[in-house]
Structure 1
Amino acid sequence: MESLKNLFDTLGGWVWGPYMLVLLVGTGVYLTIRLMGIQFTLLPFALKQAFTPQKKGDGDTQEGDISHFGALMTALSATIGTGNIAGVATAVVVGGPGAVFWMWITAIFGMATKYGEGVLAVKYRVQNSKGEMSGGPMYYIERGMKQKWLAILFAGFATIASFGIGSSVQSNSVAQSIHASFGIEGWITGVVLTAFTAVVILGGIKSISKVSSVIVPFMAVFYVLGGLIIILLNLDALFPALQLIFSDAFTGNAVAGGALGTVIRYGVARGVFSNEAGMGSAPIAAAAAKTDHPVRQALVSMTGTFLDTIVVCSITGIVLVMGNMYMDGETGAALTTHTFNKLLPGPGGWIVTFGLIFFAYSTILGWCYYGEKCATYLFGDKSITAYRVIYVATVMLGTVASLDLVWAAADTFNGLMAIPNLIALLALLGVIIKETKDFKAKRQSGELP
């Protein structure tokens, strides 16, 4: 087992190495240029689309299973997770305060990547035997690129990753957090969490979307407001913290030896890990949306990266730098908890604890949908029940088992997902540009609102 873990650690180090990070960010930069900065010019319109309820009756003439908002919340449920708390802390500890700046840069260009994924997801989606929409990289790779072998690779990587990064790793974080805060044993947390997970996922995408549409806004607002209160109560430390973030981003002075490369690497890596732009997961949820044009849902999907990294991760990063505890030897969720508690004694730690619980639970729900769609692509609708049973079992397993091997394997397969997806984004860029021009023309002519 130790040898297998070492193998995955080595493979994971290669997968998440500099070449992958350059490919991920480079794709976002290239899409930004070719799409003429769509994330800057249409972000206000995209946010309006995301949070404006669709009129009653609109869905009757639009293909899809859930609303724009429901699709966004499902995607965010999987995206906003432990990375927003523990991942940001790791970036600040290893990469220094400047890593927060590079997380922002990654998110800005990642919005263009997420937009491209959304366009292709809706453009090439299909209807399954139950009348539900199925889409994502495996479908636009097969139907757009005509490369089924590459689509199978993506679906295989994503299915395996879902059992780790989506379920057991998340449930493990919940169990540890609850045990640290309340002293409750992991198996008790496991039974409760598994039951809650099973009840929701057995209802499929509509059930997941409905629950996510309640949990995600609540948890995000709760965490962001808590962070803002801490910032406002310690306002004198805000500007020095921001100044340090910007100066360290280009010097790396806060890292041993002034390693600027380390600052950039960890900022980019944790930014990508948090918002998943380019990974190929979020477009699976985008494909289920009721929409009159692929671009409309793509714009909504794009806002997910903005909300995840520019809003939620920023709260964590700024508070961590303000608290100045990132060189005391702690990292991950423990560092975030103690920093929040230092700046807001009492309630501060609870904000992180409850935030982590809800973030991780929502990730479990969102990733179940991703993994299920990939499994059905590989094995057909008959595999749905078996997949859900295995997925629920891994939720329980995560609360009672050591996950070093699982984490190493899941991290590797999560990274491998990105390779087929990024190839498809670059190969089908012409389709993305064509759909974008078509949407703009139809809006100008009044054919679309």
Structure 2
Amino acid sequence: MLETLLFVKAIDSFATTVNGFLWDYILIVVLIGCGLFFTIKSGFLQFTSLGDMLKLLTEKSTISSEGRRGISSFKAFTISTASRVGTGNLAGVATAIALGGPGAVFWMWVIALVGAASAFVESTLAQVYKVKDKEGFRGGPAYYMEKGLNARWLGIIFAIIISITFGLVFNSVQSNTISLALEGSFGWNRSIVGLVLVVLTAAVIFGGVKRVAAVTSIVVPVMAILYILLALFILFTNLDKVLPMFQIIFSNAFGFTEVVSGGIGAAILNGVKRGLFSNEAGMGSAPNAAATASVTHPAKQGLIQSLGVFVDTLVICTATALIIIMSGEYLNGSDGIQLTQDALAFHVGSWAGTFVSIAIFLFAFSSIVGNYYYGETNIEFIKYSPVYKNLYRIIVVAMVYFGAVQEFGVVWNLADVSMGTMALINLVAISLLSPLAFKVLNDYKKQKRQGIDPVFYKNRIEGLKNTECWDDGPLEK
């Protein structure tokens, strides 16, 4: 037991050191820089194409020439949203505010607004280079690194990192938040909670992506709507606090008023870190879900995934931030999910602890399901083997238990290291491949201007090679 404790502490210390270098000096610049570049090159698509994004959600999946049907755009959207909408929206936002002050919320908005363009690029590329499998389609960064950059070695490295990040580390974060919430509200033993989560997780993930899609397409919209309705209720019953709240956010964002030590630096760092954890724009995770959708044009799914970033950060994260900042509970020393629970209790009464426990269970468990899928599809990229897949599933459920019984700081430090490494590799890859994504976008826009439903053919993009799921079509006259 002592050896295990010392090992965990050593890992935590190493993660803290790596995070200081990775986030302070590299990732903030790269994330915002790439997002701005993609925003400008795409003609600010995350703003100009918002109406199109909403319309595309209702499109049904198409059937390929071989009779292969992928999942619908909406279900692909909910798989990726299942991963986005989780502890990042409740515990993550609270942690950002506790460590970076209310100003961190502004920087979460920034990373979402510019990151939506990064989400478009990575998800469009995932669609272009997706491959066929027995259930429909699969793909993601590992696939476009192999096929687009001709660098399978880089794809394998990324596949290993994302499998560790999502299936193992992020799932330990989700289970950690669930167990802490249930312990705080009901006094439940965290070990018992961990065992229950293991059973529930195994029951879903051994059913395949169709079951993942079925579960998340029901759970995610319901839980998001309930949580947003509560936030709106609190907002409309505290209208007199709205303007002062925004003043607090902006004054803290630029260091005019310091609530925490570190001032503007702490606000930017924690806002960007927790913003990325929550919306995943540019991280290389959502493209794995985007590739499973069956659409007539890759740009369609790119636009839908951009919408997912907005839903996550500008709607759900902002809802949590409103609740916390208007309560003033962030000044009392609480952190993580406990801060969110305290803030809700301030507004609506002591039953809030129970509500948050149920909400975090639904949010975080759906994230566990979505996270697992990202790992599975990348394990298959490295080598398809039922033995490897089942071994991975066993390790996933083991990490769910590990997270449930671990300390809060340990799992979050590990998450920052793994997601930072993953994002850096993916951002380099999509920057190199972005000219193709913009050619695909231009093809989509051209067909829209002609008043037709855009359909993609690979020979419409000069020099496009190594695509498996797109046919040649009639060339333009």
Fold in common (TM above 0.5): yes
2:48 corresponds to which of 25, 41, 62: 41
> Offset of 1:176 from its aligned partner?
1.8
Q: What residue is the counterpart of 2:127 in the other structure? A: 122
| Contact map agreement 2:166 2:375 (CA 8 A) in 1 | yes
Aligned 1:40-439 pairs, distance under 5 A: 40-50=47-57, 52-54=58-60, 58-59=62-63, 65-128=70-133, 130=134, 132-256=136-260, 259-382=263-386, 383-402=388-407, 405=410, 407-439=412-444
> Offset of 1:243 from its aligned partner?
2.0
| Contact map agreement 2:35 2:116 (CA 8 A) in 1 | yes
1:393 & 1:257 partners in 2: Cα distance? 37
1:413 & 1:264 partners in 2: Cα distance? 20
1:192 & 1:261 partners in 2: Cα distance? 40
> Offset of 1:305 from its aligned partner?
0.3
Counterparts in 2 of 1:191 and 1:218: CA distance versus 1, 3 Å:
same
| Contact map agreement 2:101 2:260 (CA 8 A) in 1 | no
Counterparts in 2 of 1:64 and 1:7: CA distance versus 1, 3 Å:
farther
Aligned residues: 445
Of 384-393 and 297-306, more deviation after overlay is shown by 384-393
> Offset of 1:338 from its aligned partner?
0.5
Q: Which amino acid aligns with 1:267?
A: G
1:5 & 1:262 partners in 2: Cα distance? 20
Counterparts in 2 of 1:54 and 1:163: CA distance versus 1, 3 Å:
closer
> Offset of 1:406 from its aligned partner?
5.0
| Structure 2: gaps (5+ residues) | 1-6, 455-477
Counterparts in 2 of 1:405 and 1:152: CA distance versus 1, 3 Å:
same
Q: Which amino acid aligns with 1:119?
A: T
| Contact map agreement 2:99 2:260 (CA 8 A) in 1 | no
2:408 & 2:253 partners in 1: Cα distance? 33
1:259 & 1:180 partners in 2: Cα distance? 31
| Contact map agreement 1:115 1:298 (CA 8 A) in 2 | yes
2:278 & 2:202 partners in 1: Cα distance? 25
> Offset of 1:237 from its aligned partner?
1.5
| Structure 1: gaps (5+ residues) | none
1:79 & 1:329 partners in 2: Cα distance? 26
Give secondary structure in 1 for the equivalent of 2:453.
coil
2:414 & 2:346 partners in 1: Cα distance? 35
Q: What residue is the counterpart of 1:13 in the other structure? A: 20
Q: Percent identity?
A: 40
Q: Which amino acid aligns with 1:29?
A: L
Counterparts in 2 of 1:270 and 1:399: CA distance versus 1, 3 Å:
closer
| Contact map agreement 2:341 2:353 (CA 8 A) in 1 | yes
Q: What residue is the counterpart of 2:32 in the other structure? A: 25
2:206 & 2:77 partners in 1: Cα distance? 20
> Offset of 1:70 from its aligned partner?
0.3
> Offset of 1:414 from its aligned partner?
1.8
Counterparts in 2 of 1:327 and 1:403: CA distance versus 1, 3 Å:
closer
Of 413-422 and 288-297, more deviation after overlay is shown by 413-422
> Offset of 1:398 from its aligned partner?
2.8
Q: Which amino acid aligns with 1:70?
A: K
Q: Which amino acid aligns with 1:54?
A: K
Q: Which amino acid aligns with 1:157?
A: I
| Contact map agreement 2:119 2:305 (CA 8 A) in 1 | yes
> Offset of 1:258 from its aligned partner?
7.2
| Contact map agreement 1:153 1:420 (CA 8 A) in 2 | no
1:4 corresponds to which of 7, 11, 23: 11
1:27 & 1:64 partners in 2: Cα distance? 34
Counterparts in 2 of 1:187 and 1:269: CA distance versus 1, 3 Å:
closer
TM-score when normalising by structure 2: 0.89
Aligned Cα root-mean-square deviation (Å): 2.0
